[in-house]
Amino acid sequence: MSDLTIVYEKLLNFDTTYLPIILLLIPISWLILYLRWNLLLKHNDIKIPTKKNMEIYFSGFALSITPGKIGELLKSQFLKTKFDVPRKITAPLIIVEKIYHLIGLVIISILGVYYLDISSYIIIGATIFLVVGLVLLFSKKLFNKFLNLINKIKFISKWTDSLSESYDVVTTSLKGKTFVFATMYSVLFWLIESIIVFFILKSFEINAFDFFRITSTYIASIILGVLSFLPEGIGVVEGSLLGMFNIIGIETSLTFTVVVLIRVFTLWSSVVVGLISLKLCGVLSLNK
């Protein structure tokens, strides 16, 4: 899509002035996700030593590149093997995490209604998807029908018994103070990621667009990636970012370079941390 020589030349123009800020914000965003996870564990009276809890949680970053992030369910097995925490509690919490992720995206994407016309359609689609998901979760009958449907998938079938036994864990984790604070963490995470994207653009002296317009563009592309159910929206996020950045007036060769860096900082850096955490967790038997 773009001449690699031109992309390399654009990379040489990257202003490292903002790099320390970007590198500081990245681990802060991970910490916010961990705090949300820890909140959900505490709500369900699960106490794990902080160091091990962080290792297990961050190991999920490496597994996030599986379709629909279903590989993250292995975190549930890690907690079962290491601390004998029932999968019927931790497996649904991983699903609850994804719901909060989407809730945060929908809230932030409201910014896009004013700044980018296409965002309104994306917001409507994401909101419908979210509402359907919540209705599904809060209706035990529909929830069980959904489990019977996905039980046909071989990899997921071993987890469905745990999920069917943990309906209350899902619904109570989406209520009250837990809902308020988990939603706040989700919104804060996406805001920080948007700030990272903003500073990446600033590093290439792209100053014609304000923070809110950049945020609406980035979040809209992430929503499309989520709705695609592809691993981390790979391909969809990049393609939509390229198109949207071109719409707002950034030249193609520069856009391609910017998108590559955005994904390196917001996605692939976390995958590397996840692989390191997997190593720290050790090789665990999934048959226990």
Cα–Cα distance between 273 and 58 in angstroms, integer? 7
DSSP structural state of residue 268: I
For residues 226 and 102, is the Cβ–Cβ distance under 8 A?
A: yes
How do residues 43-64 score in pLDDT, each as one tens digit?
Answer: 999 999 999 999 999 988 887 7
For residues 185 and 37, is the Cβ–Cβ distance under 8 A?
A: no
Cα–Cα distance between 47 and 42 in angstroms, integer? 7
Residue 273, CA distances (Å) to 26, 57, 156, 241 in order: 11, 11, 25, 24
The tokens for 112 are 């896009």
Q: Which of 47-51, 211-215, 225-229 has the lowest mean pLDDT?
A: 225-229
What per-residue confidence (pLDDT) applies to 284?
44
How do residues 85-139 score in pLDDT, each as one tens digit?
Answer: 888 888 888 889 988 998 998 888 776 565 555 556 677 777 787 777 777 777 7
How do residues 144-191 score in pLDDT, each as one tens digit?
Answer: 776 666 566 555 555 555 555 677 888 889 989 999 999 999 999 999
What per-residue confidence (pLDDT) applies to 147?
66
Please state the rounded mean pLDDT for residues 188-200. Answer: 95
What does pTM read for this prediction?
0.84
| Mean pLDDT, rounded, of the chain | 82
What per-residue confidence (pLDDT) applies to 285?
43
Cα–Cα distance between 117 and 77 in angstroms, integer? 43
User: Which of 102, 106, 143 lies closest to 122 in space, CA to CA?
Assistant: 106
What per-residue confidence (pLDDT) applies to 67?
60
